[in-house]
Amino acid sequence: MARQRSRKSTNRALKRRNKEFAKRVAHSRAQTAIVEDQGPQPDLQAVYSLLRQNDVDEETLCALDDLLSPFTPLKRAQIVIQAIDSVSNSDKPIRYLGIRMAIRLLYPYWPREGQADAIYHVLYEKKDLVLIAATSFGKSLILQSVSLLRPDSMAIIVIPLNQIGKDQLEVIEKRGGNPCFLSGESNNPATLNRIREGEFTHLFISPELAITQPVINVLQTPSLLRNIRLVAIDEAHLVHHWGDNFRTNYAHLMRLRISLGKRIPWFACSATIPPITIRMLKERCGFPADVTLLRNPVDRPELIWSIGLLPPNGGSKFEALRFLFWPDSRHKYPSTQSPQRIRPCEIPKTIIFFNTRQEAHNAHEAIIQFLRTHPHFQYSKRMCLDMLKVYTRDTPEFDKKSIISKLQILGEECPIRVIFATEALGMGVDMPDIRRVIQYKLTTSDEPSVLWQRGGRACRDHQPGEVILLAEHWTFGSRPSPDKTTQGSSQQEGCPSQSQSQSQQSTVIVDSTQKDGDESGPDEDIEETIRRPTGRAAALKNAKRRANMPHFWYHLINNDSNCIRDAFLHYFDEPARFTTAKQQRHRCCSKCDTALSWGVVSLDNYPHCYLHSEKAPRTCPIGKKVIKAVREWALEKANIRFASARFTPRVEMIIPPAIQKVIEANATLLLSMSNIEKHLNNWRFLKEYGEEFLVAITAVTQTRPKSLSKAQFELHKRVSYPAFETYPQSPSTQAPSLHNFELTNPQACRQFDGENTIPASSLSKQSGTFQHAVRSPKRPRLMDVTNTIR
């Protein structure tokens, strides 16, 4: 008698049968759907004939559109490639033309020559390829189109940042593809099963996940392995830059190549692949020694490369970034001629890269305070938060997506004007109309590729733009050789000369507020609380730091004859045929055209960036002396003008603080009425007191001739510039000062001419003398003064 099954085993058997039946039904339905959806069949021979008869690309494209009108754009592109494969197997010109036509049917623009060459090499020759092309060249089109042009195929793309994968997903879905972005959130058994079944056309994955065993097991599925057409490494320079310390899994991508076999071609692309990076790709990713290297120009002639120096003191408030918020940053506005009101939409779209997250947040807060306080902005806090954004690794994903989507809005309608970013906003993000990229301080990496990559974020629409490197003050100057630094230090420990000590005192160090590394650490702000060395100690430390600088960066900053653009292109081993001649560069760099140089980006050089609460620049040695005399003169004028007022007159009532700063900064220039009208055109009392002001300031600024002694010069000044009391005064200006009240004795025969005339005191009447009364040590009260005047 047969043994009866248990209930559990029966249920398991039923489940297995149900699963098998469901699979058969699903497969049958899929085959039925394919048969039903086939519709009209394409005429491959007619498509091939149109390509053979091609004379004008646009006419051939129109003919293909008419012939393949019943199909979707993706299907049209696949039909063109299928027609070439079925009829011609070795005709390279026809294959090349077919690729161009297929890309044009799929995208709204024709492919570039380098793009078509790369697709042909991977699609037909099926060999490894390394592509070097400038930022905004369109390397993403190659990654997208290889698996789109071949039905039932998949491409694996290794990406460094999640944002790149998210952006690529949207583009590929619009073209009719079915991409997958495998991240830590989506890495689950359900997604891996869909990958194993071959549902996706593209797999975007990080290097950390690409070399894990579960993912490799899925990719080794025979049915999927046959359909993998390409393995691509986007931003391939990171295999060298990040493979050593930051993200070491980049150095282990050889595991993925070994797992997939030699049949699948590998493709690496970047804008910055110097010879050392090519060597690293061969060692760490398995590229053959004779790998094909497809070069395209990496130069961006529309970008200006310039260098500015940060001031020795002033890093805490980030004053060196204030000039960026004027529409014409290179124009040094006089303090009284700056634009009255600057709208947010007039500020050029800018990305400022920092080495640490803490520094980015500190700069963000300092600039918000500046924009809220400066009289030519006076933005609200909400307005500042809307137009200034921080983008770092710690920024929430929702905010990152919101920032990127807003930055992609073109022109003045974009609400975000300036981004304070770290390496998190580095590569692969499509922001078309960024007009300026600023690197605040030298990058923590010694690789020049980092700055070139960050500069490539600007002007992806090929419009004019600028890349500015704001280097620390200590990077400029001579340096000893690294092996002689200690000897030079010991030799300088003796008593230096006076000129040496003065030069050392002027070279005050501004130390970085961050530690080495891409992201911020807990010890970033230690140096801000430590007293920095000054004088000789600072000069010695600066010399040692310059001695340890990489050769590339030192000569880039200190060698005036070294073109900035040529220095980078030489480092990337750019062929001479791609290099634009200097004679054809109208906008090259700050070394080729000194008018493009920023110099020291300090508030003294950009006085319109000062706040009223900050100390005014003194560009002349007698500024302090002049402003003291002007304040005394203005106080006297205020006492006369507001004699009958019930408040205490002040200097600011005649000369506002902003005008005082202009006077102090331009004291030696205010020696004529034309210059006074030029520099003090916003002074409300210019027409009324202009001539008297000129007399008062000339007496101070006049220098003693060598032919006169000091006593003779003082006598000459008293004769040429008499005291204010001896000037002819109108009756309205003869009122006494309320601040320094002093009664005088009028002449005996003098009558009271007006209501402002002061009568003689009773003491002087009795004595019959007409000398000036001695000033009372006690200041009279306002009531007494008013009664006396009356």
Give per-residue pLDDT as tens, 511-548: 333 333 333 333 334 333 334 555 688 888 888 999 99
Asked if 130 and 236 count as a contact pair (C-beta separation under 8 A), the reply is yes
pTM value surpassing 0.85: no
Q: How many CB atoms lie within 10 A of CB 431?
A: 22
Residue 790 within a domain:
no
**Which one, of 308, 309, 329, 306, lies nearest residue 589 by Cα?**
306
Whether residue 593 is found in the same domain as residue 680 = no
Other Cβ atoms less than 10 A from the Cβ of 404: the count is: 19
Position 118 scores a pLDDT of 95
| Residue 206 maps to a domain | yes
Q: Can you give the pLDDT at residue 765? A: 41
Same domain, 370 and 258: no
* Contact by Cβ (8 Å): 303, 465: yes
Alpha carbon of residue 414 to chain centroid: 16
Q: 567, 552 in Cβ contact below 8 A?
A: yes
Same domain as 579, residue 691: no
Cβ atoms of 228 and 260 closer than 8 Å: yes
Answer yes or no: is 449 within a domain: yes
Nearest to 599 by CA among 307, 305, 304: 307
Output the pLDDT for position 331.
72
* HEC per residue, 640-702: HHCCCCCCCCCHHHCCCHHHHHHHHHCHHHCCCHHHHHHHCCCCCCHHHHHHHHHHHHHHHHC
CA dist list (Å): 326 to 304, 332, 344, 454: 18, 10, 10, 22
Are both 266 and 196 inside the same structural domain? Answer: yes
Q: How far is CA 617 from CA 206, 269, 368, 593, in A?
A: 52, 50, 23, 28
Range of the domain at 410: 303-331+344-478+553-605
**Residue 759 resides in a domain:** no
Task: Check whether residue 640 and residue 695 sit in a common domain.
Answer: yes
User: Residue 216: its pLDDT value, please?
Assistant: 94
Does any domain span residue 240? yes
CA distance to 215, 309, 552, 724, per residue, from 649 (Å):
81, 44, 61, 18
Domain boundary (110, 127, 154) is at 110
Indicate whether 266 and 349 sit together in one domain.
Answer: no
Q: Note whether 164 and 203 are same-domain residues.
A: yes
Instruction: Please indicate, yes or no, whether residues 257 and 394 belong to a single structural domain of this protein.
Output: no
- Answer whether residue 665 is part of any domain: yes
Work out whether the CA dihedral 245, 246, 252, 257 comes out positive or negative: negative
Structure tokens at 711: 């006593």
DSSP letter, residue 168: H
Tens digit of each residue's pLDDT (9 = 90 or more) over 349-361: 999 999 999 999 9
68 and 144 housed in the same domain: no
Report the pLDDT value the prediction gives residue 293, as an integer from 0 to 100: 93
**Token pair for 605:** 């050089």
**What pLDDT is recorded for position 163?**
79
Q: Which of 75, 110, 145 is the last residue of a domain?
A: 110
**CATH number, domain at 252?**
3.40.50.300
Amino acid at 320: A
- pLDDT value, residue 580: 66
Sites in the chain below the pLDDT cut of 70 = 1-5, 14, 17-22, 24-39, 88-89, 314-315, 332-339, 426-428, 481-535, 580-585, 612-613, 615-621, 702-708, 710, 712-790
Q: Supply 355's token pair.
A: 């080495």
The whole-number pLDDT of residue 234 equals 92
CA 674 remoteness from chain centre: 40
Q: How many CB atoms lie within 10 A of CB 721?
A: 14
Cα separations in angstroms, 498 against 278, 488, 509 = 52, 18, 20
Owner of token pair 């026809």 = 94
Residue 510, classed as helix, strand or coil, is coil
Please state, in angstroms and rounded to a whole number, the distance separating the CA atoms of residues 421 and 321: 14
* Residue % of the chain over a pLDDT of 90: 38
For residues 509 and 311, give the distance between their C-alpha atoms in angstroms, rounded to a whole number.
9
Which residue from 118, 71, 125 is spatially nearest to 99, judged by alpha carbons? 118
User: DSSP 3-state assignment of 23?
Assistant: helix
Fill in the amino acid letter for 466: E
Q: Classify residue 545: in a domain, yes or no.
A: no
Spatial distance between the Cα atoms of 508 and 312, rounded to a whole number of angstroms: 6
Residues 161 and 180 in one domain: yes
Decide if 706 is inside a domain. Answer: no
- The answer to whether residues 363 and 447 belong to one domain is yes
Q: Tokens 């493979």 label which residue? A: 243
Q: Identify whether residues 444 and 567 lie together within a single domain.
A: yes
Contact in structure between 425 and 399 (CB atoms under 8 Å): no
Final residue belonging to a domain, choices 92, 110, 128: 110
Q: How many domains does the chain have?
A: 4
Which residues are CB-neighbours of 531 under 8 A, at least 6 positions away?
none
- Strand 350-353 to 388-391 pairing: unpaired
User: What residues have CB less than 8 Å from 120, skipping those under 6 apart?
Assistant: 92, 95, 96, 99
Share of the chain above pLDDT 70, in %: 74
Q: Which residues contact 204 (CB under 8 A, 6 or more apart)?
A: 157, 159, 164, 165, 168, 169, 179, 180, 181, 182
**Interacting residues of 614 by C-beta distance below 8 A, sequence separation 6+:** 603
> How confident is the model at residue 365, as a pLDDT?
94
